[in-house]
Structure 1
Amino acid sequence: MKFLDILKPEAVKVLSAVSSKKRLMHDIAELAEDAYGITAETTVDALLERESLGPTGVGHGVALPHARLADLQEVVGVFILLEKPIDFDAVDRQPVDVVFALFAPEDAGVEHLKALALVSRNLRDASLCAKLRANHDPATLFTILTETESVRAA
């Protein structure tokens, strides 16, 4: 599995001012609706429900919110770069500015886990995160994410 399998260019966005984690979840859901046709209201509810089980802020300014959705046919992702980091209740208590949200069908099983592992593994790379943070153009961010894999594979 690669980023190209789960991410569309139109599912990448830079947000200048997000006031809270809850507002960010709404922004993620709206972007997912625009890019993939997923119902925003259902998506917000699923994200908040998953978040109530434990925060998905994994540390070093990165969050990986994710949810399973009944009407989805494949695993898809949304990438958001925040110009101003926000409190996300991350494991290291650091504010978050790099967010990759994943959505999977309810019965996705191993595909959901593969996607989560892919995103987690790549966003643990400090140099990749530094490149992402240095660019505020969605097209460039998409290219950085999708080209990272081909460089690593070589």
Structure 2
Amino acid sequence: MQPLATLLTPERAACQIPGLSKKRLFESLARIISDDQLSLSYDEVFSHFIAREKLGSTGLGEGIAIPHCRIGNCSQPTGALLTLAEPIDFDSPDNQPVDLVFALLVPEEATQQHLDTLAGLARLFSQASFCDALRAARTADEVFRIATEAEAVPP
């Protein structure tokens, strides 16, 4: 998996986002990503997240979701990391609400890279200490720092 530092920017990390539904979450993610990546339009990002989610929930369980999609105007894998002030329903396999969200966009043709990155993210988010640290964060800068420093932790 690519280090999170190559997927994230400080502008695409957010902390304690207030009361959301899944749709509002995707709107927030689309805004955060499109504001930072000018080649990716808000409408395109939002519609790709919605279309992917209709195929099945991207909730992993344990309060974690990794919404992801492949998108044409994406030149390199791009991520956004959010912690939520209140957990939201995400149709996760364990029926637990979600409060940690890592959104991933990859270039349309990057099928294997997409799968490899998703697997790496799932391994990282399966570490209770990593998730606990994110949940304890109180600022976006802290969320970004925790995420980018976590690469030193073995899976």
| Class of the TM-score when normalised by the shorter of the 2 chains | over 0.9
Q: 1:88 aligns with which of 87, 90, 109?
A: 90
Out of 34, 55, 58, the position equivalent to 1:56 is 58
Unaligned stretches of 5+ in structure 1? none
Runs of 4 or more, structure 1, over 6 Å off, are none
Q: C-alpha distance in 2, partners of 1:110/1:144?
A: 27
Aligned residues: 153
Match in the other structure for 2:113: 111
Equivalent residues of 2:77, 2:105 under 8 A apart: yes
CA offset digits 1:59-79 (Å, max 9, x no partner): 000000001111111111000
Distance apart, 1:150 and its partner CA: 1.9
**Rounded Cα–Cα distance in structure 1 between residues aligned with 2:67 and 2:147:** 17
Aligned residues of 1:15 and 1:81 also touching (Cα < 8 A): yes
Alignment of 1:62-77 (within 5 A): 62-77=64-79
How far apart in 2 are the matches of 1:135 and 1:19? 19
CA contact (8 A) 1:18 1:24 kept: no
Other structure's SS at 2:82 match: strand
Per-residue CA deviations over 1:13-57 (Å, capped at 9, x if unaligned) read 124423310110000000001122221111111001000000001
- Following superposition, the deviation at residue 123 of structure 1 comes to 0.6
User: How far 1:4 moved relative to its partner?
Assistant: 1.2
> Residue 5 of structure 1 corresponds to which residue in structure 2?
6
Offset from partner CA, 1:88-126 (integer Å, 9 cap, x none): 111110000000000011101221112111211101111
Structure 2, unaligned stretches of length 5 or more? none
Aligned-residue RMSD, C-alpha: 1.3
What is the TM-score when the length of structure 2 is the normalising length?
A: 0.94
